């Protein structure tokens, strides 16, 4: 998909000299060097691949950034305005473009994003079996524990969720799984990538997705990414009180950091989540720092690097 949205000046050196499977992010800023995140390292992009020399780096212009966004919108910025209001665009294959620019507000509501100045292209990866070190802690004696994956940005939580869904199917756990793909990142659009028992609702808020999904699809498990707002918490509590299992993720660097977040106190007090999986970037994306129970007590023995 990148070949359809990136100019040749960027795509050709990426395709010729860089391993796409290793790239996590491509960051473009107006008149600043293009930066690649590969594993836990950062490099500049030059016409001959990666470099540590800023003088060799490619510096995208404002016009280049605007053209990338235009092509990512399939040549219709107006048709993707709902995504723009949330600060991103999603292309085929789950590639997300986080956008920087000017927010236009009217009466306290975001109307659109314009005057684009930066793009963070996040490259999703399917890493088979990356959730296996946690699987038996989450599914035990045919019981599925509500699980929250905790990690800082870029540490592999979405990849973990994606693989866990697939592992359920491969082990023939015939749970009806509802994937609430709010940002279009969980499903990479590849046949069978989420297994055989999955229904999907995309680009809906968690409130609407949880309510409609429970009512119309009768899921046993709802999987969703990046809880953040009080509305998200209320959606989780609603599903929990309906007897639906939940697997989700949240941005934080530890269980202690998560436990201090004020808007999550309701689900912490009610012990909605029985398992907390903490990932980090310490030994690269996907480093397992620990698995914890509802009392935030560690239940695995050591960290495992993916």
* DSSP line for 118-148: EEEEE-----TTTTHHHHHHHEETTEE--EE
Q: Structural domain tally of the chain?
A: 2
Residues 161 and 283 in one domain: yes
Residue 107 has pLDDT above 90, yes or no: no
Tens digits of residue pLDDT in 217-266: 999 999 999 999 999 999 999 999 999 999 999 999 999 999 999 999 99
Residues 65 and 168 in one domain: no
Tens digits of residue pLDDT in 176-231: 999 999 888 888 776 567 889 999 998 899 999 999 999 999 999 999 999 999 99
Full residue range of the structural domain in which residue 63 is found? 2-122
- What is the structure's pLDDT at 192? 61
On the CB side of 105, CA atoms within 13 Å amount to 4
Residue 265 covered by a domain: yes
Tens digits of residue pLDDT in 39-57: 779 999 999 999 999 999 9
Cβ-contact 146, 242 below 8 angstroms:
no
Q: What is the pTM of this model?
A: 0.84
Residues 77 and 165 in one domain: no
Q: In the predicted model, what is the mean pLDDT of residues 58-87? A: 93
- What is the structure's pLDDT at 302? 56
The separation between CA 172 and the C-alpha centre of its own chain, rounded to angstroms, equals: 25
- What is the structure's pLDDT at 73? 92
Residues 168 and 243 in one domain: yes
Average pLDDT, the chain: 92
The Cα–Cα gap between 226 and 207 comes to: 13
Give, in degrees to the nearest 5, the angle at Cα 202 between 155 and 134: 35
Structure tokens at 281: 């970037």
Single out the residue of 221, 237, 226 nearest to residue 149, CA to CA: 226
- What is the structure's pLDDT at 226? 93
Give, in degrees to the nearest 5, the angle at Cα 58 between 53 and 60: 140
Residues 65 and 105 in one domain: yes
Q: Name the residue with tokens 């055989």.
A: 196
Residue 306 has pLDDT above 80, yes or no: no
Residue 93 has pLDDT above 80, yes or no: no
Where does a domain end: 122, 151, 181?
122
Residue 300 covered by a domain: no
């Amino acid at each position: 998909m990148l070949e359809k949205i990136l100019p040749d000046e960027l795509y050709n050196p990426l395709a010729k000299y860089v391993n796409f499977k290793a790239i996590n992010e491509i960051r473009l800023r107006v008149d600043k060097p293009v930066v690649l995140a590969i594993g836990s390292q950062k490099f500049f992009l030059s016409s001959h691949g990666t470099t540590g020399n800023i003088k060799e780096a490619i510096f995208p212009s404002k016009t280049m950034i605007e053209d990338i966004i235009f092509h990512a919108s399939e040549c219709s910025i107006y048709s993707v305005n709902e995504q723009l209001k949330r600060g991103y665009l999603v292309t085929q294959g789950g590639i997300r473009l986080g956008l920087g620019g000017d927010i236009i507000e009217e009466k306290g509501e975001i109307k659109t994003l314009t005057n684009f100045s930066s793009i963070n292209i996040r490259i999703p990866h399917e890493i088979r079996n990356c959730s296996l070190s946690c699987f038996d802690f989450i599914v035990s004696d045919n019981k599925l524990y509500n699980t929250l994956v905790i990690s800082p940005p870029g540490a592999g939580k979405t990849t973990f969720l994606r693989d866990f869904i697939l592992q359920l199917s491969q082990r023939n756990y015939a749970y009806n799984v509802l994937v609430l793909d709010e940002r279009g990142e969980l499903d990479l659009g590849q046949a069978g990538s989420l297994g055989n028992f999955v229904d999907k609702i995309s680009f809906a808020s968690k409130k609407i997705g949880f309510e409609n999904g429970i009512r119309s699809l009768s899921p046993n498990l709802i999987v969703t990414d990046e809880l953040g707002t009080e509305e998200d918490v209320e959606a989780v509590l609603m599903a929990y009180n309906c007897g639906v299992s939940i697997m989700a993720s949240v941005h934080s660097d530890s269980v202690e950091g998560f436990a201090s977040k004020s808007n999550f106190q309701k689900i912490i007090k009610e012990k909605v989540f029985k398992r907390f999986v903490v990932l980090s970037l310490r030994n690269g994306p996907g480093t397992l720092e620990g698995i914890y129970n509802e009392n935030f007590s560690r239940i695995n023995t050591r960290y495992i690097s993916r």
